[in-house]
Each structure stands twice: as structure tokens, then as C-alpha cells.
Structure 1
Amino acid sequence: MNLDFSSVLPSFPFILKGIVVTIQIALLSGVLGFVFGIILSLFKISNIKLLGWFADAYTSIFRGTPLVLQLMIIYFGSPQVLGYQIDPFTAAVVSFALNSTAYISEIIRGGILAVDKGQSEAAMALGVPYRSMMLNIVLPQAIKNILPSLMNEFITLTKESAIVTTIGVMDIMRRAYQVGADKFRFIEPLLLAGVIYYLIVMALTLIGKLVERSMRKSD
């Protein structure tokens, strides 16, 4: 195998700059997906059938179609639907947030259902409003139980963000590809990009374990 990193190492700082873009996309879409995921999970367990049907249909569509397809529809379809072109970064955040909402809503729904029903029944017997019960009693316990799954979803989101290179977002992968095209050597910059993604994932995994350990100690 003819590998020569000497020609691409000077461009390594250029690839590293993509870390900021990658983290921004993952963080923004992760936060939005978490917020909307909570709302969607409440729709799923609601007694209002219309909300349940909407939540199930939403989850079915976004889990049943490829993320790259959703990204391209939002980016390339925006001029036809909205009358103007959404910038690549915004399209990436929107598509990832919408997709993440479907998965996170299922995680949160499972966490809510895993909480002992006796606690919610006791709260209702004491006259605690439904909203206060969910926000102060059920959801905090559910989130503690599903924290590893949520962290895993964020890690997956970080790795999958590499597909934004298809719409020209200057993330790690796009920069590595540009270096490869400039140097006519693709394996070396792509391997460097792989090392960067791996280190990011390892760092996120460590942070997740520390947060989980801290929450366990607070019990």
C-alpha cells in the first residue's frame, strides 16, 4: 500500500477547522431533537388520538426514509417549496433535528413508560396537575434512565453529520475530500478525518460516562 502522509499533513489544520462545524451541527440538531422529542413523546402517550396518530406518522416517515434523502429534499427542494434557497448549514441542522426528533421521542417514550406508574397515580391522587407531574416527577426520572441511550443518539448524530458533505457544508469530511482532490491523494486525508471522528466519539463517550456517574451519585 502506497501511503504518504507528508504531502497532506500541511493541510491537516485545514481539516481540523471542520470540527467546529461538525460539533455545531450535532449540538444544535441534538438540542432541537431533544426538545421536540419530548413534545412528540408526550403526544404518543396522550389520550388524544389525533396527537398519537400524528406522532406515530411522523416517527414512521422519518425512521422509514434515509437521512440523506431528507437532507436533500430540504436543501434542494427549498427553492421549489419556499421560493428561496436555504443555506447548507441551516438545511443540515433542520434535517438532522427533524430526523433526531423521531428517534429521541421513542427513547423518551420508553423512559416515561418505564417509570413506576404508582408515582404518577399518587401524584394525581394528591391533585398534582398533569403538567407539573410530568415536568417535576416523571420526566426527570425518565431522563436519568435513558441518559446512555440519549448519549448514544448524540454520538450517532455526530458521525452521521458527515453526509452534509453532499450539500457542500465545510465539515471535517468535506475538507478532507477537498484536500484529497487538491493533492490527488484521497486515502490519507480520509484516514485523518477518520481519526478525528474517532477521537471526537471517544471524547463524547467519556463525557457521557462522567455525566451518568454524576447523576447516579446525586440519587
Structure 2
Amino acid sequence: MKSRYKWITAVMIAIISMTFGLNCNSNSVNAKKDSNVLKVAMEANYQPYNWTQTNAANGAVPIDGSQHTFANGYDVKIAKIIGKKMHRKVVVLKTEWDGLLPALTSGKADLIIAGMSPTAERAKAINFSQPYRRGTFVVITKPNSKFAHAKKLTDFKGAKLTAQQGTSHYGLIKELPGAKRQTAMRDFAAMRQSLISGTIDGYLAEDTEAISFKLVDPDVTAVAISKMAGFHVSKEESETAIGIAKPNKSLLKQVNQILATIPTATRNKMMTAAIKEQPKADDNKKGQSENWFISMWKQYGSMLVSGIGMTLLLASVGTIAGFFIGLAVGIIRTIPTPTTTGKKLLLKVSNWLLSVYIEVFRGTPMMVQAAVIYYGIAQFWHLNINRTIAALIIVSINTGAYLAEIIRGGIISTPTGQFEAASALGMTHNQRMWHIILPQAIKNCLPSITNEFIVNIKDTSVLSIISVSELFFVGTTVASQTFKFFPTYLTISAIYLILTFTITRIFNLIEKHLQGNKNYNLMANQVQVGTTNDMEVKK
């Protein structure tokens, strides 16, 4: 039995070593608070305002937590001017749109420079600088669409339109009478793909998005709606400003003073430059004659490998730590009722607390848990936890809640005769659990533990809400930069399948090893031993 446990331990150590090796260089930028660093939060996926690239070309700045990716765009150019004036190095905190405000209010970021409009609702949570750009609104559609030649707002009647989730753009669709407002989408890459595939008739955005999109796909057109009669938009919704945490009045003053020194002509030149520098589908001339798969791996291979490593790290460490958490909880919840009043009360309270833990973490999505733990701890207790450590904690305690019930089920499903036989031999409860019950329970639970490992590999994708660059988050970035959505997501799907298939086979070997040799007969062995002893006595 000991050799079996050693074999399992060796496999687990190998998995952890592999994943740590893949990620040993992933945190090149110091995550600690540094007065010489200006942390700027943005999606890095909203061309031409901001995007992700694999090198520092055209003055790109590093993305926090990675040595393989950089951010660039109009927002980055504005951030660099502010950083230069403040004598601080600009580092981009890449996160989803929904994670921008929590990143700022929790102190993870100093500024939000992400093409954000200073709406009244957002102004309740954060302060905004003076606007650094003003834009007009358009509906982006296909040239052959019946809505491409719209002259008035009512011409969009029946059009299936959408906009980015969490933005004021989505609410402006109501200004188009008769338009069928579709579900909001998470980013512009998703809306572009939906328009190309024909699932929507168009989407509402700023004029800069139309210019940016047409550079990579000429088969689109933009219908200006800002000057159409009846279109009402507030001044704030047409402006773009920098978000700053409310307590930081001095930083707000500094930013406004710096923005006042940037002439409008300079800002327009910066936007023109950003539009020309944005990633294009045909950036790699050589890649046009190459297979798309080879071309993608040559250009974005380091990002994808880093994403694979992070996914494996989170899934493997989270499952192993979650196993031990679940094991401890499962054992405690199956302790027999003590005879003394004090111990009985203590066990009852412990079981109640553990039940609350299980219900909370099984009854809420991991994405919500990630946002609450990562941003909540920083906001309320002022503890700035490294995002990778936070992600490992989140996956571990979430997995522990599920495995606790799996292991508890394995323990109570063990035949009662096993308990009675162990008790007849004079074993204590701890001895019964450690030597008799747990080896059988864990062996029976192994398929469920394997399934939890596989689920963790896939569910780590939700951790992009706290800026963790796992496989899906990296894949989304690659798709938005190459504009090859279907091939990229197909590749990501294949990688997930390979990972889950490999893990399944590893655990199948472990399960087979734990089963041992089934070809035995206890009575025959006893008879053989007895016969051998008789022969030795006769000699």
C-alpha cells in the first residue's frame, strides 16, 4: 500500500513541477505596489484604443504578469504621456471590461484608460478626468445589408443590433425605433465575429471602431447615426475619460493638468497612428502562404504555451489542495457523535460551519467567488494578493467543497461490516479511518476526483475576471488580433481536449494500480501457508 501512495505522490509532484516550470517566468512584472510604477487598467482588446501584441514594437508597454505580451493603442499612448510627466513607468493591467472598476476601486490599478465614457452611473463609484477624446456613434453593418443605406433612425426597424456589455452604447440602441436589441456581447471581437457570421445585422459603436474594423475587413460599412434627427445622446456618453479612484484627489488633479498640455491636433495624430499600428490579419506577409495553424503558433505560440501552463497549474494544484481540504472536511463530518456534552457541542458547531462552507461554494459560481475574494480582500482589508495565488486559493476551496461531499459519500458507502470488524479488533476511530475505511473510500471516489480535475481545467476560464491569463483568455486575445475566430477557437478546443484526455489516462493508470492484483484466493493462500508450515515441522 505504501508503494502505491509513493507512486501517486510521484505523479502529482511531476504534474506540479511541469506546470510550475511552464509558469516560472510568467510574472516578470512585480505585482507589489510600487510608487515608480503607474498601473493602468484596460481590456487590451479594443482596437484602436488598446490591444495586445507579442513584442514591444511601436512603443508598446508590458502587461502585468507576463513577459510575452505587451499593450499598445491610443489609450497606451495617452498613458505613456501621463507616466512620463509623473516620472512613473507605465504597466498595463489587462482585464475584462467588467473587471475594470473593481480593479480600480480595490487598488489593483491606479487609472482606467480604456475608452470609457464618464456616465453618471459610473461617476457614483469613481472619479473621471477631463475627456481625452470625443467621438460620434455609428451602426456597423455589412454593405449588402438593407440597413447599410439607412437615412433616418426608423430605417433600422427590424434590425438585430447589439453593443458591448456594460457600456452606454447598449442603451443607445433604444434610440432606434423598431430595432431588435440583441443580448449585449462581452467585447468587440465577439461582435465583429457575429456580424461576419450573420447572427446580427449590426452593432452600435464609436466611429473609431468602424475605421479600425474596415482596415482589417473592407467588407463592412458604417452608418452615422449621431446627426440623424431624433438621436439623443448625452455629452458624457460621447466622451472618453480616465477613471480614478474617488479618494485619490491629488492624482485626479495631476491627470487633468497633464491632459490640458496635450493639444487636440496631437491627440488626433496619436489616434491616426494607433489605427495604422493596430494588428491586422495580414501583418505577417509570409504567413499568407503558410498554413494558418503554423502561422498562428509562430506568432502567438509563447502566449498559448503560457496560457496552457497557467491552466494546468491552476487545475492541478487546485485539485490536489482541494482533495486534502475535502478529505479533512469529509472525515470531520463522519465522526461518530461523542458521548460527552462538550465534544458533542463542538462537533455540532463544526459540522454546521462546514455545511455553510459547502453550500456557499457549491451554490455560487466560481467567477463570482473570484471577484469577491480577489477584489473584496483588497478593498476591505487592503491586502494586495498576487492574482495567481488568489486564483489557486479560489480553485482549491471551490474544489474542496465539491470533493468534501464526494469523499463523505465514499466513507458512508463503505459496508458497515468493515467498521464492525475493525472495532472488534480493538481499533480506535482514527485507526479504523486511516487503515480500513479511507483506502477503500478514496479508491472508490477516484473517478469522481478525476472528473473534478477535468472540470477544473475547463472552469479556470472564468478567472479572466481577475486578469488571470489562462488558456481561454489567451485564445480570445489571439482571435481578436488575428481575426481568425473559428480556427483559433477550434485550436483552443483541441488543446482542452488533449489536456483532459491526458489527465483522464493518467488517473486511469492510477486507478488501475490501486486496484492491485484481483486474481487471488484468500482461503487458498491460507491453505498453502498451512501446508508449507506442516512440511517444515515434519522436516
The reply to whether TM is greater than 0.5 is yes
Q: Deviation at 1:145?
A: 0.9
The aligned runs of 1:203-218 (5 Å cut-off) are 203-218=502-517
The answer to whether the 8 A contact 2:362-2:402 is kept is yes
Q: Is 1:5 aligned to 2:292, yes or no?
A: yes
Q: Distance in 1 between matches of 2:299 and 2:462?
A: 21
- Greater C-alpha radius of gyration: 2
Query: TM-score if structure 2 supplies the norm length?
Result: 0.39
Aligned residue pairs total: 219
Bigger Cα displacement from structure 2, 65-74 vs 123-132: 123-132
The answer to whether the 8 A contact 1:8-1:188 is kept is no
The aligned runs of 1:115-194 (5 Å cut-off) are 115-194=414-493
Q: Distance in 2 between matches of 1:185 and 1:76?
A: 33
- One-letter amino acid of the structure 1 residue matched with residue 299 of structure 2: S
Bigger Cα displacement from structure 2, 181-190 vs 155-164: 181-190
Q: Deviation at 1:12?
A: 4.6
Gaps of 5+ in 1: none
Q: Deviation at 1:99?
A: 0.7
Instruction: Show the counterpart of 1:25.
Output: 314
SS at match of 2:385: coil
Q: Which has the higher contact order (CA 8 A, sep 6+)?
A: 1
Could you say which structure has the higher helix fraction?
Answer: 1
The answer to whether the 8 A contact 1:22-1:171 is kept is yes
Q: Distance in 2 between matches of 1:67 and 1:120?
A: 37
Q: Distance in 2 between matches of 1:50 and 1:23?
A: 36
Gaps of 5+ in 2: 1-195, 198-290, 338-346, 519-539
Q: Deviation at 1:117?
A: 1.5
Q: Deviation at 1:157?
A: 1.0
- One-letter amino acid of the structure 2 residue matched with residue 209 of structure 1: N
Q: Deviation at 1:76?
A: 1.2
Q: Distance in 1 between matches of 2:490 and 2:398?
A: 28
The answer to whether the 8 A contact 2:307-2:471 is kept is yes
Q: Distance in 2 between matches of 1:180 and 1:53?
A: 47
- One-letter amino acid of the structure 2 residue matched with residue 45 of structure 1: T
Q: Distance in 1 between matches of 2:443 and 2:397?
A: 23
SS at match of 2:469: coil
Q: Deviation at 1:185?
A: 3.5
Query: TM-score if structure 1 supplies the norm length?
Result: 0.91
Q: Deviation at 1:180?
A: 2.2
The answer to whether the 8 A contact 1:25-1:93 is kept is yes
Bigger Cα displacement from structure 2, 104-113 vs 163-172: 163-172
The aligned runs of 1:33-72 (5 Å cut-off) are 33-46=322-335, 47=337, 48-72=347-371
Bigger Cα displacement from structure 2, 197-206 vs 170-179: 170-179
The aligned runs of 1:75-86 (5 Å cut-off) are 75-86=374-385
- One-letter amino acid of the structure 1 residue matched with residue 503 of structure 2: L
Bigger Cα displacement from structure 2, 41-50 vs 178-187: 178-187
- One-letter amino acid of the structure 2 residue matched with residue 93 of structure 1: L
